[in-house]
Structure formats: structure tokens, C-alpha cells
């Protein structure tokens, strides 16, 4: 094997919290070889970003390296000074950060920033560095580099900004690229393009990369070698195929099993990892994972397991890995049973027709000055129906109008047009005009659990209020309290939580309380807007199980909104795909996942990173980004990016809604037969 | 913080502590001397802690009496302004739309008038009108005090409103506010029960900051001769009275000036301290 590009040896890092130094990273040894993309996976708080940045020897001011060395090109980075490091940073090790917009200087053009970098590190002349900038942008597949160079960062889309960041990082031909969650803020279709790009560029530039991410799917697709980090320690590290096929550490297998795609079917529960990750101040001294491990034995609580070499290239830190490797022990919290059948009924809970919502930037001053208002058509003539006791999944990228649609249905925004029927009765589009019973029957779970609960109210106060305001039978104070406690138990929280403030709850617990609030007054339909997107995978599994349990038990229906097709497919009976304010396809779960399908659905499915490194069908990639709804394309809104573009008909005419069997509809100019035929054969290379 | 409470305490009980009424001209006989003349322009001594002024009034007593106007009036005015500003700020911040547009524009236009100019205009117009009313209420409070208070309220309501409005905007779109809306909660419930606790830190800090400005304004107006009217011993006024003979009897000016300075500095320190306390709370 060749000399590694970078190598850490027993690296430990501490953070100062108050007056104490707390161990954040403990005894981490890893190495990255040339041409290799090394994945660093972990949940939030595992220290993966700290470690990623520490590989560059970049530490925040309250952190220090206590032990170990970082060997880069035969040199230990640990004792170097800022000045010495700044010669390495940018020229030999580059960083692609999570938030591209925040990392680009908003007051300089792209050209100025790129020239600055190459001049500083490579001492190039103006002409040469300009040329290098154009080359770098071309290498990240930017079609018109000269034009992009003249732009300011905010004039570029998110995907474009991230490409510029990568170009900037690569423009000095570094030997190591550190990618810190580079695609977390991007849409799936854009993410797929960026990941392809990173993979190709690392090969082209003969570089190596450290890819830090919480997303097992993208890691499986991109990386060659993976290290799993938990509570600042390496749990397992192995070549990507081995790790995903035969995980040796209980934490790794737990993580993999908690993915919705790992479920045996929509009826079976997801396996979960109990408990929460220890905070920086309360890490166990023995095995850090022991208290959440389903197969922990006494020894795990008293002695720290060493990082052992397993045959091949992997290492694992577990006392029982040999039993796991031989297959004697299944290290999973094996899912217990299936969900009660929630048989959908024929009646509709929600029947909404021709909903329309436009947003205008139009204030009093503009009106006085007689300015023309600018309208954004967020929801364009959408009809949705949810059957009783069923789940409708609404999927789409950012800007597709799915959240607006949800808000219009619950009337947080008032629709401009259309009508909504709840349980067969027409209800007002205005929140103020809705009756208490209508409010009670139509509840919502919000995206961000951290601001869903009033920080100045205890859990009990929050939930009691809902009962008091919405309960049909105006219960007494004691009765309310009893109901709250019962509700807490039904979401798996003890009565102790009654008097806790939200600040003392973890993200998953907050979301559970928010779900409890939605269920409090016996609703008919619950709208959940991205209920798990800000949670870790292991917590997501808990929430998804809970949602399914509650549906069966309470007989409610859901409208679930997500950008994550995996989550949608796991939860839903019926799926609607939304693009730029329109529903482009809807049908049952199976119908939507197989031909004939809308080209956009096809692209979404293909872009979805799956935690299976052997999957290779990366056939469909969408060019560009979702167009701004402000300048919506004419004709079919998807024509600017459509892989099945026909010709002028797509640009000029709105596509018809074609009905396949059983209410499955597709909005496309292609006939259904054409779509089936095209989607059964691989796409031609463009 | 402590100093502020000492000042407020002085404002409340000061008159009882004062050895002499604020307007008594001290004669020699009052302090056991043969001399019947007024003890004018005494430097600070054991008998007169802070000396006496041109007319022979005890400055120490005047300081104690004056604390009431110097601190009390701004305090009341600030409380009024903060209450009104909080209400308007919550309302405009939460409702948004045309209510916000109209109210904010009106308040913006108020903000564009320089403070002192507005004060001069208001006092010169309100005082005669109020005095001509002959109402017992005006007489008991003093036309000047009423006009001073309303100047401060008018000046600070827009500023407080802005602060509260922007704090409200921060939480307005949070999940818990929307959840409350979906409960069908009334606007007042949402404003005061849901939003109010989270703007409280900003409110308290802003109120203490406003207080220090109000004290300053009242003292400045007093110095300009427009504030509390003589013979009331407001500190700003005392500075004005002392100004003509500041070279011969400097102590006459020292004490009120020192009083104002220490008061304002301590109120400012208190507001800094409160801010730190709240930030600490948030981090926990």
C-alpha cells in the first residue's frame, strides 16, 4: 500500500466547558490513503465535525489536543503554529463546509475570491489565477464559468454555491479535501449531482477526501472506507462494503437497522436504539455505548473494550465482536412484531379541491406608489384526498410548495381559492371562522421540535392547555391532568415529564411531546410537516414507530410531508409527488414506485442515496436546480430539468392529467404506455 | 444595582431624612449662631454637609428632596412608556399586515423629530393649556410634571415598541405560536401568555436603559429651565441655579452634577447586569 495522505495516531481532544476540560474525542487513529474517500459517520454530538476539522488541526478556541499526532505528508501538524498551518490550509488541505453561502464572502465576486485563494497559496499572476479559476469551475461542471465568476455569491443557487466551494477548495490542487456535511442543506436531486462530482474529482485530481456526514445513505454511495464515531470514540471502521454488509459493532448494526429502508415491509416496526447518546459531561468510562447496547454484558459496564483488528482492514471496539462476526449473536434490538393493521376505509377524512395560494410582496407603501405586485404561485390548483385511517405522503423538494399546502389546509395561511371538506363537511378556509370541533379534528405537527413547545411552559402545562381548549366535554382540572399523564405514557414518557421544561428534553422527546399535543384531543386528521427531518436516524426510527402505533390505536389519519422519499414510502399508503406547486403524480405506494411514473418521481427515486454500497443505478441526474417559483417555467413546470423532455409541447402546453388504474394519476405529455416503455430500459447517456 | 436601590430609597424617604425643608433659607440662629443673616454660600462643613447656596438653602436637604423629582418622575414616565410600548410592540409584531404598517409608520415619524425640540415644543404648548384648565388634578400633580411625563412617554413609546416588535417577530413564526393559533386561542392570549414571556428579557433591559435616558432628559430640561419649576429642588434645575457663580461657590454645582452622574451610571450598570443575567439564563 502507498504512504497514507493523512494519519492520526491516538488523537484526543478536550473541550473546556465552564471550568472543566471534557473529553470530546478519545484515542482516535485513522488514516486516509490517496484516491480514497473516507467516510466519518456519527449522530449529532458524536464529535464527527470536531474530528473532521481537527484533521486539519483546526480547533475552536476552547479546545485543545491532549494526546496523539496528526501526520500529514511526513509532518506532525499538532505542534505547528498558526502561521505554519496557514501555509498548509487551503493549499494542501482544503475544506468544503456545510453552509456554502456563509463561507463565501458576500461582498466579493466569485472571481475575486477564487483569485485571492490561488494568488495567496500558489503565487500565481493575475492572468494565471484567472485562468485557474475558469479551469476549476469547468472541472466542477459549471457550464458558463465566465458568467459565474462575475456573480456575487447570493446570486447563485444553493447547488451552484456548493459547486463553487468545491472548485475553490480544489483550485490549489490540495492533497486532502475535508468535506463537512457538504450536501446536508441541498435537495436530493442536487445532492446526487454533487456527490457524483466529488467522486469523479477525487479520482481526477489524485487527491483524498474525508467525508463527514450523518447520512448513512450518502456515505454508502460515496465512500471507500468508513469510520463510525460514537461519543467521541471510534466504534468500528471498515471498508464500506464490509461495514454495510456485515457490521460488527452493535451500534453500527443498530444504526443500519433503524433506517426505514431496512424495514422488512411497511407493516413491520423499525428497530430502534434505546436511550440517548451521552452528553459531553456524562460519558461512561467503560464502553461508551454500553447503556444503549442490546447485547451488553457486565464487562461492558466496567472495562473499556480495546480497538481490535478484525481480519482484513477493519477495526472494532467491542467485547463481543467475535460472537457477532461468527453469527452467534444478533446485535440488534430486533423489531418486535408488526403494526396493527390500520385498514383504510373508503370514506375521505379530507377532501380538498382546487386549492390555490399565491404570495405577494405587496405592502402599503408599494400600494401607495402604485407598484405592480410580484406574485409567487406556491400552490397551484391542488386537489388532495385523504382516506379515513390512512396516510397520505406528500413528497417534493424545497420550493415545491408542500409546506404551504399543509399550512393552507390547517388555515395558518388562507387559501386564495378552492374548498376543503373535513369528514364530509365543508369548512372555512379562514382560521378565525373555523369551529372548535373542526380545529380539534385537524391538527398539525411542526417541522422543528425545538421551537414547537413554548420554552416557558412545562410539558404538562402545554398539553393541559390543549385539552382545556379543545376537549369537547370540558373536563375538570383533575381529569385533564389524568388525561395528560395517560397521553404521556402512550408516547413512552413517564409522568415525571409533566413538570419538565422543554429545555430539559432531547430533540426526540420534544417531538414526542409535539406529537402528543396533536393527538391530545382525539383528532381525525394529523398533518405532520417533516416530522423527523431534524432528528438523528436512531431517533427518527422511534418517532416513525410511534406515529404508526398511534395511527393504529387512535384511528387517526395522517398527511405526512417530507423531502425524504424513504420516510414517505415507509409511512404512507398513498403518495403524492409535488413539484413547483403542482401535484405531478399521485397513487398508491406501490404504483408510485414503479413504472409508469412521472419523470420527476423517477428522478427522485434515482437520486435517493440508499445505504447499499453495491447499488450502481445512478442513471438519472437532474441538471440545475429547482427553478424559483417566482419565474415558473411555462407549460410543464418540470420541462427545464426533465430527463424525458419531448420538445416544444412541454414548453408551451400544460400537460394533461393522465389516469392510470385506480385513481393513480400522472401529469405528463407522455402517454402512460410510453412512460412504461422508457422506464423499463436504461436511460441513454446524455 | 444596589446603588440604584439606594437612590430609589432616597427618593422615597429622603424628605424625612433631610435636616431642613428644601426651601428654607437657613439663618445663623437656626444653627446656633448669633448671626441672624442668611447663611449664604457656605462651603461644605460639619453643619452643612454639602454647603449652602446663594440664597442660604442647605444643599444636602435640597439634594434629598430633589431625588424625588429627579428619579421619581422619569421612573413613572418610563413605566408608562414601557407599558404602552410593550402592548403596541406585541400587537404590531404579532399581527403584522396593515396594522403593523400604519402604526409603525406613525411611530417612525415620531422618532424622526429630535428629542429636545419635541420636548421644547410640547412643554411650551401643553403647560399653558393645562394651566388654563384649572382642574384640581392638574393642580395637584403640577402642569409641568404632567407635560414632562407626556414628553417622555411620547419619545420612548416608539423606541420601546420597536424593540418589543422585533423581539416578537423572532418568535412569531415558531411552532408553539402556530400551535396556539391552531387551538383557536385569542389574539390577546397569544400576545400575553405565549409571546410575552419570551420578550421579557429584552423588555427589562430596554426599560432600565430607557430609565437612564429619561433621568438624563429630565435633568437636561431642568437645566434648560424647562423642567420641574422652582422652587422645587430638581437636580438639573439646581445645576442651572448654580451656574452663574460656579467659580466662587463650585460646591453648589458639584453635588447635583455628581448626583446625576452617579445615578445615570448606576442605572446603566444595572441594565448591563440584567442583560448578562438573561444571557446566562438562556445559555443554561
Task: Give span(s): CATH 3.40.50.300, chain A.
Answer: 6-230, 348-398+411-563
Average pLDDT over residues A341-348: 66
Interface size A-B, in CB pairs within 8 Å, comes to: 58
More confident residue, A347 or A302: A302
Judging contacts by C-beta atoms under 8 Å, the chain B residues touching residue A520 are: none
CB proximity B189 to A under 8 Å:
no
Supply the CATH classification number for the domain A6-230.
3.40.50.300
CB environment A501-521: b (16+ within 10 A), e (fewer): ebeebbbbbbbbbbbbbbbbb
Q: What percent of chain B is predicted at pLDDT more than 70?
A: 73
Secondary structure of A353-417 as H, E, C letters:
EEEEEEEEECCHHHHHHCCCCEEEEEEEEEEEEEECCCEEEEECCCCCCHHHHHHHHHCCCCCCE
- Confidence label for A232 from pLDDT (cuts 50, 70 and 90): confident
State the average pLDDT for chain B.
77
CB atoms A431 and B174 under 8 Å = no
Determine contact, residues A683/A643, Cβ cutoff 8 Å.
Answer: yes
Count of other CB atoms within 10 angstroms of residue A595: 14
Contact A412 B182 (CB under 8 A): yes
* pLDDT tens-digit series, residues A506-524: 888 888 899 889 888 788 8
Which residue in A has a C-alpha nearest to residue B180's C-alpha?
Answer: A466
Looking at chain A, the whole-number percentage of residues with pLDDT higher than 70 is 92
Nearest CA in chain A to B172: A451
Over residues B60-65, mean pLDDT = 72
Q: Give A147's pLDDT tier (boundaries 50, 70, 90).
A: confident
Residue B239 has pLDDT above 50, yes or no: yes
Q: Is B184 on the interface with A (CB under 8 A)?
A: yes
pLDDT at position A504:
82
- How far B96 CA lies from chain A's nearest CA (Å)? 11
The separation between the first and the last C-alpha atoms of chain B, rounded to the nearest angstrom, is: 23
From CA A472, how far away is CA A437, in angstroms rounded? 7
pLDDT (tens digit, 9 = 90+) per residue, A659-672? Answer: 877 778 888 888 88
CA B69 to chain centre: 9
The predicted pLDDT at position A686 comes to: 38
Grid coordinates belonging to B118: 419635541
pLDDT at A617 over 60: no
Rounded to the nearest 10 degrees, what angle do helices A459-470 and A507-519 cross at? 20
Q: Are B73 and B145 in contact (CB under 8 A)?
A: yes
* pLDDT given for residue A576 in this prediction: 92
pLDDT at position A685: 40
A382 phi and psi angles, rounded to 5 deg = -105, 135
A362 CB near a chain B CB, below 8 Å? no
- Could B176 and A436 be called an inter-chain contact, meaning their C-beta atoms sit closer than 8 Å? no
Q: Taking Cα atoms as reference points, which of A538, A36, A92, A3 lies closest to residue A237?
A: A36
- Name the pLDDT band for A631 (thresholds 50, 70, 90): confident
| CB within 8 Å: B182 and A466 | no
pLDDT at position A567: 87
Q: Quick one: which of A138, A167, A148, A160 has its CA closest to A110?
A: A148
pLDDT in tens, B11-27: 666 666 666 666 666 66
Mean pLDDT of all residues belonging to chain A? 83
Pair type for strands A37-41 and A582-588: unpaired
pLDDT bin (cut points 50, 70, 90) of residue A684 is very low
A269 touches chain B (CB under 8 A): no
Q: What is the pLDDT of residue B265?
A: 81
Burial class (CB in 10 A: 0-12, 13-18, 19+), B124: exposed
Q: Which residues contact A486 (CB under 8 A, 6 or more apart)?
A: none
Q: Chain A residues with CB inside 8 Å of B179's CB? A: 444, 446, 452, 514, 517
C-alpha cell at A614: 453495491
Lowest mean pLDDT among A19-23, A327-331, B153-157: A327-331
> Does A596 sit behind a cis peptide bond, omega within 30 degrees of 0 on the bond before it?
yes
Taking only the tens place, the pLDDT of each residue in A113-126 is: 888 888 888 888 88
Show Cβ contacts of residue A482 under 8 Å, excluding neighbours closer than 6 positions: none
Residues B198, A448: C-beta atoms closer than 8 Å = no
Question: Tell me, what's the ipTM?
Answer: 0.73
pLDDT for position A394: 92
Judged against a pLDDT cut of 90, whether residue A302 lies above it is answered with no
Mutation for testing the B interface, residue in A411, A444, A454 having most B CBs under 10 Å: A454
At B81, give phi and psi (nearest 5°). -65, -40
Nearest to A469 among B105, B176, B183 (CB): B183
**What's the length of chain A?**
686
3 state SS of A208: strand
Compute the average pLDDT of residues A136-145: 83
* DSSP codes of every residue in A299-367: HHHHSPPP-EEPSTT-EE--TTHHHHHHTS---S----SBPPP-PPPSSEEEEEEEEEEEEEE--HHHH
Contact between B144 and B227 (Cβ < 8 Å): yes
pLDDT for the residue B28:
59
Average pLDDT over residues A454-461: 88
Interface with chain A: mutation pick from B99, B104, B179, highest number of A CBs within 10 Å: B179
Range with the poorest average pLDDT among A292-306, A325-339, A370-384, A530-544: A325-339
Residues 6+ apart with CB under 8 A from A290: A284, A296, A300, A301
Contacts of A446 in chain B (CB under 8 A): 175, 178-179
Residue B137 forms contact with A (CB below 8 Å) = no
**Residues in Cβ contact with A540 at an 8 Å cutoff, skipping those fewer than 6 apart:** A258, A260, A532, A567
Supply angle C-alpha A81, A82, A88, rounded to 5. 95
Q: How large is the average pLDDT for residues A237-260?
A: 87
Contact residues, chain B, for A434 at CB < 8 Å? 184
* Predicted local distance difference test score (pLDDT) of residue A297: 85
B108 inside 8 A of chain A by CB: no
Q: Is the pLDDT of residue B258 over 60?
A: yes
Going from the C-alpha of B141 to that of each of A401, B4, B211, the distances in angstroms are 60, 25, 21
Q: Does B197 touch chain A (CB under 8 A)?
A: yes
For the cut 70, the answer to whether the pLDDT of residue A34 exceeds it is yes
Q: Would the CB atoms of B101 and A364 count as touching at under 8 Å?
A: yes
The domain A348-398+411-563 is placed in CATH, from the list 3.30.360.10, 3.40.1280.10, 3.40.50.300, 3.40.50.11720, at 3.40.50.300
Predicted model pTM:
0.79
Question: CB–CB of A448 and B101 under 8 A?
Answer: no
**% helix, strand, coil for chain B, step of 5:** 75, 0, 20
Q: Is A363 on the interface with B (CB under 8 A)?
A: yes
Q: Are B196 and B90 in contact (CB under 8 A)?
A: yes
pLDDT value at residue A40: 92
Give per-residue pLDDT as tens, B161-204: 999 998 898 888 888 888 888 888 888 888 888 888 888 888 88
Q: Does B105 touch chain A (CB under 8 A)?
A: yes
Angle between helices B196-223 and B251-283 (to 10 degrees): 170
Is the CB of A527 inside 8 Å of chain B's CB atoms?
no
Give dist(CA A332, CA A335) in Å, integer: 8
Provide, as residue numbers in chain A, all residues whose Cβ is less than 8 Å from the Cβ of B185.
469
Using one digit for the tens of pLDDT, what is the confidence trace for A197-222? 888 888 888 889 999 988 888 888 88
**What is the structure's pLDDT at B284?**
47
For the segment A403-430, what is each residue's pLDDT rounded down to a tens digit? 888 888 888 888 888 888 888 888 888 8
CB contact under 8 A, B182 and A447: no
Amino acid at each position: 500500500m502507498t504512504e497514507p495522505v493523512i494519519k492520526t495516531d491516538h488523537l484526543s481532544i478536550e473541550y473546556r466547558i465552564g471550568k472543566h476540560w471534557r473529553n470530546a474525542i478519545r484515542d482516535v487513529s485513522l488514516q486516509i490513503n490517496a484516491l480514497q474517500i473516507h467516510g466519518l459517520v456519527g449522530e449529532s454530538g458524536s464529535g464527527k465535525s470536531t474530528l473532521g476539522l481537527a484533521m486539519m488541526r483546526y480547533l475552536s478556541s476552547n479546545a485543545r489536543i491532549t494526546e496523539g499526532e496528526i501526520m500529514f505528508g511526513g509532518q506532525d501538524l499538532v505542534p505547528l503554529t498558526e502561521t505554519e498551518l496557514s501555509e498548509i490550509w487551503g493549499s494542501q488541505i482544503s475544506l468544503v463546509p456545510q453552509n456554502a453561502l456563509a463561507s463565501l464572502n458576500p461582498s466579493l465576486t466569485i472571481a475575486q475570491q477564487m483569485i485571492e485563494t490561488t494568488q495567496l497559496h500558489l503565487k500565481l499572476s493575475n492572468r494565471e489565477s484567472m485562468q485557474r479559476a475558469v479551469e476549476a469551475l469547468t472541472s466542477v461542471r459549471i457550464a458558463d464559468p465566465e458568467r459565474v465568476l462575475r456573480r456575487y455569491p447570493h446570486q447563485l443557487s444553493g447547488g451552484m454555491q456548493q459547486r463553487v466551494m468545491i472548485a475553490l477548495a480544489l483550485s490549489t490542487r490540495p492533497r486532502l479535501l475535508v468535506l463537512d456535511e457538504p450536501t446536508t442543506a441541498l435537495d436530493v436531486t442536487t445532492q446526487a449531482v454533487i456527490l457524483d462530482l466529488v467522486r469523479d474529482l477525487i479520482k481526477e485530481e489524485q487527491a483524498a477526501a474525508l467525508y463527514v456526514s450523518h447520512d448513512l445513505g450518502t456515505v454508502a454511495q460515496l465512500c471507500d472506507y468508513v469510520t463510525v464515531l460514537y461519543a467521541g470514540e471510534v466504534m468500528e471502521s471498515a471498508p464500506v462494503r464490509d461495514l454495510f454488509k456485515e457490521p460488527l459493532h452493535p451500534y453500527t448494526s443498530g444504526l443500519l437497522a433503524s433506517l426505514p429502508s431496512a424495514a422488512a415491509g411497511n407493516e413491520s416496526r423499525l428497530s430502534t436504539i434505546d436511550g440517548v447518546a451521552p452528553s459531553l459531561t456524562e460519558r461512561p468510562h467503560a464502553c461508551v455505548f454500553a447503556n444503549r447496547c442490546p447485547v451488553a454484558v457486565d464487562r461492558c459496564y466496567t472495562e473499556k473494550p480495546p480497538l481490535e483488528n478484525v481480519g482484513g482492514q477493519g477495526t472494532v471496539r467491542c467485547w463481543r465482536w467475535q460472537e457477532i462476526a461468527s453469527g452467534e449473536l444478533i446485535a440488534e434490538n430486533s423489531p418486535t412484531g408488526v403494526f396493527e393493521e390500520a385498514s383504510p376505509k373508503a370514506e375521505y377524512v379530507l377532501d380538498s379541491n382546487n386549492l390555490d395560494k399565491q404570495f405577494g410582496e405587496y405592502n402599503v407603501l408599494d400600494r401607495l406608489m402604485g407598484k405592480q405586485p410580484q406574485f409567487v404561485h406556491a400552490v397551484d390548483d391542488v386537489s388532495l384526498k385523504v382516506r379515513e385511517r390512512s396516510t397520505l405522503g406528500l413528497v417534493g423538494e424545497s420550493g415545491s410548495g408542500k409546506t404551504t399546502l399543509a399550512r393552507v389546509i390547517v388555515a395558518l395561511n388562507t387559501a386564495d381559492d378552492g374548498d376543503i371538506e373535513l369528514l364530509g363537511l365543508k369548512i372555512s378556509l379562514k382560521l378565525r371562522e373555523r369551529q372548535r370541533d373542526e380545529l380539534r379534528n385537524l391538527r398539525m405537527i411542526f417541522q422543528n421540535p425545538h421551537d414547537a413547545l413554548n420554552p416557558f411552559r412545562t410539558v404538562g402545562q402545554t398539553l393541559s392547555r390543549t385539552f382545556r381548549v379543545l376537549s369537547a366535554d370540558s373536563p375538570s382540572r383533575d381529569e385533564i391532568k389524568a388525561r395528560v399523564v395517560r397521553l404521556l405514557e402512550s408516547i413512552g414518557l413517564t409522568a415525571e415529564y409533566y413538570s419538565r421544561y422543554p429545555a430539559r428534553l432531547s430533540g426526540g422527546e420534544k417531538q414526542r411531546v409535539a406529537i402528543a399535543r396533536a393527538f391530545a384531543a382525539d383528532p381525525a386528521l394529523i398533518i405532520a410537516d417533516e416530522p423527523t427531518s431534524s432528528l438523528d436516524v436512531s431517533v427518527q426510527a422511534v418517532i416513525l414507530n410511534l406515529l404508526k402505533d398511534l395511527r393504529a390505536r387512535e384511528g387517526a389519519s395522517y398527511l405526512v410531508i417530507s423531502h425524504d422519499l424513504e420516510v414517505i414510502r415507509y409511512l404512507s399508503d398513498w403518495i403524492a409527488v409535488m413539484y413547483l406547486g403542482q401535484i405531478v403524480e399521485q397513487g398508491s405506494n406501490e404504483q408510485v414506485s414503479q413504472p409508469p411514473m412521472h419523470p420527476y418521481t423517477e428522478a427522485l427515486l434515482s437520486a435517493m442515496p440508499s445505504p447499499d454500497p453495491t447499488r450502481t443505478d445512478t442513471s438519472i441526474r437532474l441538471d440545475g436546480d429547482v427553478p424559483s417559483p417566482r419565474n415558473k417555467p411555462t407549460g410543464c413546470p418540470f420541462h427545464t430539468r426533465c430527463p424525458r423532455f419531448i420538445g416544444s409541447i412541454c414548453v408551451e402546453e400544460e400537460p394533461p392529467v393522465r389516469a392510470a388504474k385506480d385513481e393513480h394519476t400522472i401529469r405528463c405529455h407522455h402517454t402512460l404506455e410510453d412512460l412504461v416503455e422508457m422506464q423499463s430500459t436504461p436511460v441513454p447517456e446524455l | 444595582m444596589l446603588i440604584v436601590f439606594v437612590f430609589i430609597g432616597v427618593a422615597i424617604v429622603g424628605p424625612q431624612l433631610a435636616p431642613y425643608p428644601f426651601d428654607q433659607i437657613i439663618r445663623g440662629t437656626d444653627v446656633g449662631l448669633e448671626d441672624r443673616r442668611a447663611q449664604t454660600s457656605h462651603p461644605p462643613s460639619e453643619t452643612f454637609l454639602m454647603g449652602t447656596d446663594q440664597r442660604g438653602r442647605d444643599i444636602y436637604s435640597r439634594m434629598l428632596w430633589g431625588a424625588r423629582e429627579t428619579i421619581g418622575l422619569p421612573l413613572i414616565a418610563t413605566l408608562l412608556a414601557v407599558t404602552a410600548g410593550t402592548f403596541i410592540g406585541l400587537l404590531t409584531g404579532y399581527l403584522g399586515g396593515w396594522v403593523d404598517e400604519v402604526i409603525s409608520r406613525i411611530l417612525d415619524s415620531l422618532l424622526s423629530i429630535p428629542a429636545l425640540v419635541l420636548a421644547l415644543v410640547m412643554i411650551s404648548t401643553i403647560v399653558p393649556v393645562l394651566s388654563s384648565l384649572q382642574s384640581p388634578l392638574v393642580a395637584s400633580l403640577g402642569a409641568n410634571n404632567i407635560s414632562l411625563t407626556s414628553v417622555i412617554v411620547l419619545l420612548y413609546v416608539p423606541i420601546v415598541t420597536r424593540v418589543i416588535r422585533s423581539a416578537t417577530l423572532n418568535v412569531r413564526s415558531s411552532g408553539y405560536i402556530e400551535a396556539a393559533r391552531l387551538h383557536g386561542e385569542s389574539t390577546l392570549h397569544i400576545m400575553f401568555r405565549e409571546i410575552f414571556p419570551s420578550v421579557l428579557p429584552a423588555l427589562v433591559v430596554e426599560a432600565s436603559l430607557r430609565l437612564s435616558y429619561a433621568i438624563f432628559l429630565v435633568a437636561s430640561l431642568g437645566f434648560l429651565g424647562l423642567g420641574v419649576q422652582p422652587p422645587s429642588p430638581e437636580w438639573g434645575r439646581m445645576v442651572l441655579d448654580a451656574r452663574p457663580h460656579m467659580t466662587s461657590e463650585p460646591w453648589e454645582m458639584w453635588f447635583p452634577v455628581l448626583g446625576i452622574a452617579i445615578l445615570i451610571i448606576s442605572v446603566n450598570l444595572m441594565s448591563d447586569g440584567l442583560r448578562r443575567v438573561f444571557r446566562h439564563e438562556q445559555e443554561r
